[in-house]
Amino acid sequence: MLRQTNRWLRGGIATLFALLCLTPLLAASQEAAQAPSELRIGYQKSSTLITVLRARGTLEAALKPLQVTLSWHEFSSGLPLTEALNEGAIDFSADVADTVPVFAQAAHAQFIYLAQEAPSPQAQAILVHPDTPIHSLADLRGKKIAVTRAAGSHYLLLAALAQAHLKLDQVQVAYLAPADGRAAFEGGNVDAWITWDPYLTATERQTKVRVLADGAGLSSYQRYYLASASYAARRPEVLKVLFEQLSAAGDWTRAHPAQAAQLLAPLWGLDEATVAAANAHRSYQVRLISAGNFAEQQKIADAFYAAGVLPVPVDTTRAQIWQ
């Protein structure tokens, strides 16, 4: 009986040991099974590099070894993009203006900063009618100005008003999406319109306008690439490929301006010359985010809060940044 009992004990210990060894493998297998095989990409018309990657098929090819498929979702502007990211409707947001993540952070959205484009201050501007008496930023007092809420144009407005020693309530602000902003401007319903490329260059080339000021000395306009925090935790290897591909697309776009314009023109519904001119305003230099290059985010957050546009103060240093 004692010998039999020992055999049972030895068998039980062996079984327990086997289970302990198998548990990490089973957990890893289950985690792999739960890892998303689809990457849902949100973008907007101004998302040049992700559009280049999509059109050339290079991102899809780079992710094939990871067995990741892509789906594409277009948005009118950056704020709906980050809302979709926070709601779990998309996993990755193509470039948005530097202002957009600040609003997302104020809303406690769960996202990470993946990458940053180097400054492109001339890629956005304040447009006025050619015959308007508005000739300086101070002349904007009392005028009706169209901007897209939370877009880079929104901060450019605040920065321009600050330089002219004006407060936000000393102008009339119309929050409009780019297409509606252009319609309101061309229809004479607003005195000024602040927008970004390619809308900016397209309007300059297609209608009679005057640039009152661009972002030089006001807003450096660094665009950001974002990912949902949950996706980043589950598929960090996908984010690595994304960063590499975005950087390569930026290098290709700068090195091949004519080819890039030819590729983007039919997708944007613009002629090649307009696309080339718009692209010349953007740096398309994709880089990792460093503390020195991130400082303007706090200035943006503070400006929006001081103007009463942001409901709560935001500490941008608490945002998650991909390494």
> Mind listing the pLDDT tens digit for each residue in 147-162?
999 899 999 999 999 9
- Please give the pLDDT value at position 12: 46
- For residue 244, is it left (φ>0), alpha (ψ between -120 and 50) or beta? alpha
Percentage of the chain exceeding pLDDT 70: 89
Q: How confident is the model at residue 18 (pLDDT cuts 50, 70, 90)?
A: very low
> Mind listing the pLDDT tens digit for each residue in 181-224?
999 999 999 999 999 999 999 999 999 999 999 999 999 999 99
Least confident range from 2-6, 23-27, 104-108: namely 23-27
Least confident range from 29-38, 44-53, 97-106, 239-248: namely 29-38
CB proximity list for 128: less than 8 A, separation 6 or greater = 134, 191, 192, 209, 210, 212
CB proximity list for 265: less than 8 A, separation 6 or greater = 271, 272, 274, 275
Angstrom distance (rounded) from CA 61 to CA 262? 22
Look at residue 284 and tell me whether its pLDDT is greater than 50: yes
Give 227 or 81, the one with higher predicted confidence. Answer: 227
- The predicted model gives 79-92 an average pLDDT of 91
Look at residue 25 and tell me whether its pLDDT is greater than 90: no
- Please give the pLDDT value at position 76: 79
Q: Please provide the average confidence, as pLDDT, over all residues in the chain.
A: 89
- Give the type of residue at 10: R
Angstrom distance (rounded) from CA 73 to CA 118? 25
Look at residue 13 and tell me whether its pLDDT is greater than 80: no
166 near 141, Cβ under 8 Å?
yes
Least confident range from 72-81, 87-96, 159-168, 252-261: namely 72-81
Look at residue 9 and tell me whether its pLDDT is greater than 50: no
> Mind listing the pLDDT tens digit for each residue in 59-82?
999 999 999 999 999 987 778 888
Look at residue 258 and tell me whether its pLDDT is greater than 50: yes
